[in-house]
Chain A
Amino acid sequence: MKIHIYQIAITLISSLMIFKGFENYIKGKNGQTVLKLLVRIIVWGGMVLIALFPRFTNILASTIGMEGNINAIILTGFILVFLMIFKLLSAIERLEQSLSQVTRNETLKEIKKED
């Protein structure tokens, strides 16, 4: 089996992302859940699988009933883009909430001191 540079790059990046996911989960970082870890493994693991075994898309296409494997790739691409947007919006939401909390603490610091 001939390995291309892009396959090595995707495998390395994906492995790193999965490793970070495990690290975050084990260290119990804020907001880390089993579900998030699973999603991370499925997304990045799926990318490794497709990169190393491109014919996997044929199996996927026939399993979900699509004619050509290009459709499966486009669909996977859409899912990945959706997940990325979802993650970005979640991060913005978390930042907004942190900002509100900091603003609130600053506003109420005087009465908190007295309390």
Chain B
Amino acid sequence: MTYFENSKIFIVIPAFNEETVIQGVIKEVQSAGYENIVVIDDGSSDNTQAKAAELIGKMAFRHKINRGKGGATKTGIEAAKLLGADIIVTIDGDGQHDPKDIAKIIAPILEKKCGVVLGTRLLNPKGMPLWKIFANHFGNFCTWFLFGLWVTDSQSGFRAYSKHAAELINTRADRYEYDSEVIREIHLHKLKFKEIPVAVRYTKYSMGKIHKQGFINGFKTLYKMIWGLIS
């Protein structure tokens, strides 16, 4: 039996008001061959949890109040750890990531080459709007400047962690600055990491969502990152 067959791989999907797409995302993950799926409905005002529960039952959790993408992701990772995960993969709930890439993302961890794998959209930015590419480069610069580690996509939500890395990484951020805090933790704990290009699917749906990382939210994220350093 291989390490892959022995490993418990958990896919964590934070979701906020994604009732129209969440089942599609879960089905795609299942089709890619992963059964352990944890969905965290981050206090949605729609039926995201109910829709997810139709496919994964009790593994569809719900925050009673909205705590942000970082807060929901952290809850999902905690759940996966409690359920005995060996590898934890985080993937966005709006369907922008292709679950077929999960195999690429977890491969370096299965081969024990590193503890964290960051899916990077900027090594393969096909379909990504120009302003988004620019904003991500700016985010990378700020993350490097504040936290001291250069990565090509500091805001990607598509990541994989070994059990050891998931235990070490300790974040405080609840909102979008969570992604950058993970980079800080990788640097702080000197964790080995690898960046793997992943496909990105920007649809009308995902681009139209108002809560997504926009210009104003970008500055809020920057402010929170700076505040986290001085407070």
Whether the Cβ atoms of B75 and A107 lie closer than 8 Å is yes
Other contacts beyond A97-B172, A104-B67, A107-B61: 12, CB < 8 A: A89-B227, A93-B231, A97-B174, A99-B65, A100-B71, A100-B74, A100-B174, A103-B63, A103-B65, A108-B75, A111-B82, A111-B83
Q: Please, which residue of chain A has its CB at the minimum distance from the CB of B83?
A: A111
CB distance from A2 to the nearest CB of B (A): 43
A interface: dominant SS = helix
State the 4 A-B residue pairs at the shortest beta-carbon distance, nearest first: A100-B71, A104-B75, A100-B67, A111-B82
Number of residues in A with C-beta < 8 Å to the partner? 17
Does A110 sit at the interface, judged by CB under 8 A?
yes
B residues sitting closer than 8 Å to A (CB atoms) are 40, 58, 61-65, 67, 71, 74-75, 78-79, 82-83, 172, 174, 227, 231
Residue of A nearest to B59 (CB): A111
Interface: A67 (CB within 8 A): no
Closest Cβ of chain A to B201, distance in Å, is 28
Contact with B along A75-115 (1 / 0, CB 8 A): 00000000000100110010011011001101110111001
B18 to chain A, nearest CB (A): 17
Cβ of B63: which chain A residues have Cβ within 8 Å of it? 103-104, 107
Q: Give the docked Cα–Cα distance between A106 and B79 (Å).
A: 12
Q: Contact check: which of A86, A99, A108, A110 meets B78 at CB < 8 Å? A: A108
State A106–B65 Cα separation when bound (angstroms). 11
Q: How far is the CB of B45 from the nearest CB of chain A, in Å?
A: 16
Q: Which chain B residues border A110 with CB–CB below 8 Å?
A: 58
